[in-house]
């Protein structure tokens, strides 16, 4: 059975750059990340409580943040940021090879967080 692609799973805690957990800065994040790992950006979709301040205030702490899916021509990059917990959960899945060490180093620097989990999964 031949390998289809790989997925990087990255969990960052204690992020010092939680001010970057917004649509504007995540746009820049995706642009730079895709450029660094040689991916072509396609459609991007966000989810957050923008426009729903009452729902945001009532939401449990583990739901307060911004989530986004950046489709790339070879699959997708998904991110979940948690404002109050200062955490980032990121997945990069692609059938096109990419340098996971570059991706990890960039994400850690961008969010200034501590890596608590980093896994590469081969997809078949």
> Mind giving me the DSSP string for 33-45?
HHHHHT--EEEEE
Residue 87 has pLDDT above 80, yes or no: yes
Residue-wise pLDDT for 90-119, tens only, equals 999 999 999 999 999 999 999 999 999 999
φ, ψ for residue 112, nearest 5 deg: 50, 50
Contact 7, 77 (CB under 8 A): no
Q: What is the pTM of this model?
A: 0.93
Q: What is the CATH number of the domain that holds 55?
A: 3.60.90.10
When pLDDT is averaged across residues 38-66 and rounded to a whole number, the result is 93
* Residue range of the domain that includes 107: 5-123
Residue-wise pLDDT for 32-45, tens only, equals 999 999 999 999 99
**pLDDT for res 119:** 98
Residue-wise pLDDT for 7-26, tens only, equals 999 999 999 977 789 999 99
Distance separating alpha carbons of residues 43 and 83, to the nearest angstrom: 24
Distance separating alpha carbons of residues 122 and 7, to the nearest angstrom: 7
Distance separating alpha carbons of residues 8 and 94, to the nearest angstrom: 9
Domain count, the chain: 1
How is residue 108 written in tokens? 């850690």
Sign of CA dihedral 99, 95, 39, 115: negative
């Amino acid at each position: 059975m031949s390998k289809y692609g790989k997925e990087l799973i990255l969990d960052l805690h204690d992020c010092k750059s939680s001010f970057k957990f917004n649509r504007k800065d995540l746009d820049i994040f995706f642009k730079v990340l895709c450029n660094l790992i040689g991916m072509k950006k396609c459609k991007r979709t966000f989810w957050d409580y923008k426009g729903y301040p009452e729902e945001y205030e009532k939401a449990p702490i583990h739901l307060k943040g911004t989530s986004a899916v950046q489709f790339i021509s070879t699959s997708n990059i998904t991110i979940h940021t948690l404002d109050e917990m200062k955490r980032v959960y990121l997945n990069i899945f692609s059938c096109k090879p990419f340098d996971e060490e570059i991706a990890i180093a960039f994400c850690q620097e961008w969010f200034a967080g501590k890596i608590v989990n980093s896994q590469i999964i081969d997809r078949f």
